[in-house]
Amino acid sequence: MKELTIALLMWISSHTPMTYDGSHFPNVVTVPHERLVHILYKGDLPQGLDPEIVSVAGLYNFRDGNIYLLEDEDLTTIEGQAVLIHELVHYLQYYHGIDKQVECMRELEPAAYAAQAGFLAQHDQEAPFNDMHVLLVSACKQW
């Protein structure tokens, strides 16, 4: 996992404005869906929300510095690696303090989605999201 993580960090560094110098890397942990949703909501799932309907494949937890991915995410596939690229961009954003330059954390999403889409496009695959999705998930104010 470490070799793949470093290789993808190097890809990000060579294909985006985000830099990676090889001196650090995050811990990548695979977890079941229920645990990932628990981490996403910091253990405080909104009342009435069924965790089964929460769509999440991975997340970077800035509190503990870990990247969490669904245990069934196949990192031998381009799609699985693209999910990891998305979370690695968030890791680098926090590492470089970019999180302190935005109004809200949602503003960090476009760069992660752009890297994910770029990686998929490089491998002749379509992104499973569109510009409208990115706009909605990156807006600080809910509509």
Mean pLDDT for the stretch of residues 84-91 = 98
87 belongs to a structural domain: yes
* DSSP character string of the chain: -HHHHHHHHHHHHHHSS----SS---EEEEE-HHHHHHHHTTT-PPTT--GGG---SEEEETTTTEEEEETT--TTSHHHHHHHHHHHHHHHHHHTTGGGGSSSGGGGHHHHHHHHHHHHHHTT---SS-HHHHHHHH-SS--
Please report which confidence band the pLDDT of residue 36 belongs to, taking 50, 70 and 90 as the band edges: very high
Mean pLDDT for the stretch of residues 18-40 = 92
Q: Is the pLDDT of residue 46 over 90?
A: no
pLDDT at 142: 61
Longest dimension (CA), the chain: 44
143 belongs to a structural domain: no
Which of the pair, 120 or 39, is modelled with greater confidence? Answer: 120
> In the chain, what percentage of residues exceed pLDDT 90?
76
16 belongs to a structural domain: yes
116 belongs to a structural domain: yes
Which of the pair, 46 or 20, is modelled with greater confidence? Answer: 20
Residues in a beta bridge with 68: 29, 59
Q: What residues make up the domain containing 51?
A: 2-138
Number of domains comprising the chain: 1
9 belongs to a structural domain: yes
Q: Is the pLDDT of residue 131 over 80?
A: yes
73 belongs to a structural domain: yes
Calpha distance 44→37 (Å, rounded): 10
Per-residue pLDDT of 93-116, as tens digits, reads 999 999 999 999 999 999 999 999
39 belongs to a structural domain: yes
